[in-house]
Structure 1
Amino acid sequence: MRPSTSAHADVEALATRAAGGDSASLDALLRAIRPDVVRRCGRFLLFREDAEEAAQDVLLQVARNIHRFEGRSRFSTWLHTVVANCSRQKYRELKRRSAEQPTVPEAPSAPENRPDPRTTSVIAGSRVDLLEAIERLEQESPHLVAPLVYRDLCQMDYAEIVDRLGIPLGTVKSRLHHARRNIRPWLTSHEL
């Protein structure tokens, strides 16, 4: 559910005042965006606890870096970038933590009750196939990652992506097409 137009305008106004140094506006902004931030993080990390951890990181980054928001684009566009970066970083952190911990053998269970390891992360129940595909794409073609993340995970409209990346609409669409084409073979189930 997207916020109403007046709620969106209120958030934008709060962000502008917070960027100017108004601490009361920053507190109100953080309270206002928290539910949406948790929901957005949930697009990356399917377990609620993981999404909430990433959301806390997002809110912390917003609080620390709101002074960098210059108002040249909408705050919601700026926030999408913070959400995407923090969520992907949380996934990497969970993955690293999992690799450092010894595995404990589990009691056998019925095959129909076991999660599919190709699509469920033993780390955090994340969309491991999609996140791993994005990591691989970042290594091979880093310029294709942002359009894919913004459009397919953050669900930004094309105008916001153009504004955020500062590239023409045709370039955004071309990069998105190439990104989808590149990662499709790496996915175990077609989510895009």
Structure 2
Amino acid sequence: MDEAELLVAARSGDQQAFADLVGAHRTHVWAVCLNICTNTHDAEDALQNTLVAAWQNLHKFRGEAKFSTWLHRIAANNALAIVRKRKANTHLTDFTDPEQPIQLVDDDGSAAFDEQIALRDAVRDALAALPEDFREAIVLREFGDLTYADIAAHQGVGVQTVKSRLNRARTQLAARLREHDPSQS
């Protein structure tokens, strides 16, 4: 079945069709949740909330955007809601996830295991330190594969504002990562 057929079947209550429909986007949706929440526990909650909300609101999907864009928007909103709830507790937790596969070596056979973990943690710390609007924009663009127009619609701003946020987010990320590893200067 193609996406349109899966959508019709899912709207009729076919849970397998819904699973197939969202399954095609699971990697990107998980990346959006994880990179906005910055820890796996909150990301899992956001993902679960996303799937429940998508199932319950499938009848509201009008098809004006791609299904993946609609699903990413739900994921981002749920992840942001969780981040806002825990905003009072800004202490960053341990981001290592024993279930997440870690590449032990680079493609060329180099890089130690601890360097991979340190880099992943540095990126997550840098993302977590970004202002919420910047983090949301960069995550939706880089991990959700959304267009500038889709991000603009999601954030309720113009495309130029999205481009500015992305540019500033990338600049701040690069600066924070250079602080982590001064040899990159």
TM-score (normalised: structure 1): 0.56
Displacement, 1:148? 1.0
CA distance in structure 2 between the partners assigned to 1:17 and 1:163 by the alignment: 28
**Mapping for residues 6-155 of structure 1, pairs under 5 Å:** 10-11=2-3, 14-15=6-7, 18=10, 22-24=12-14, 27-38=16-27, 40-41=29-30, 54=44, 57=48, 58-67=50-59, 69-84=61-76, 96=93, 113-116=112-115, 117-119=117-119, 127-137=120-130, 141-155=131-145
Report sequence identity in percent: 26
Q: What is residue 176 of structure 2 aligned with on the other side?
A: 186
Q: Distance in 2 between matches of 1:28 and 1:162?
A: 30
Deviation at 1:31, TM superposition (A): 1.6
From the superposition, tell whether residues 146 and 36 of structure 1 become closer, same or farther in structure 2 (CA, over 3 Å).
Answer: same
**Alpha-carbon separation, structure 1, partners of 2:95 and 2:155:** 33
- Matched-pair contact (CA < 8 Å) for 2:29–2:144: yes
Deviations 1:44-99 (A, max 9, x none): 76xxxx7xx9496243442244355454533211212344566786xx9xx75879
Q: CA deviation at 1:145?
A: 2.2
| Matching residue of 2:104 | none
User: Matched residue pairs, number?
Assistant: 148
Which deviates more, 162-171 or 78-87?
A: 78-87
Q: Which amino acid in the other structure matches residue 33 of structure 1?
A: V
Q: Using the alignment, how far apart are the partners of 1:16 and 1:170 within structure 2? A: 36
Alignment partner of 1:118: what SS? helix
Segments ≥4 residues shifted beyond 3 Å: 12-18, 42-45, 53-56, 58-61, 64-73, 82-89, 95-99
Return the offset for 1:29.
2.6
TM-score (norm 2): 0.57
| Aligned counterparts of 1:16 and 1:186: Cα–Cα separation in 2 | 46
Q: Which runs of 5+ in 1 are unaligned?
A: 1-6, 100-111, 120-126
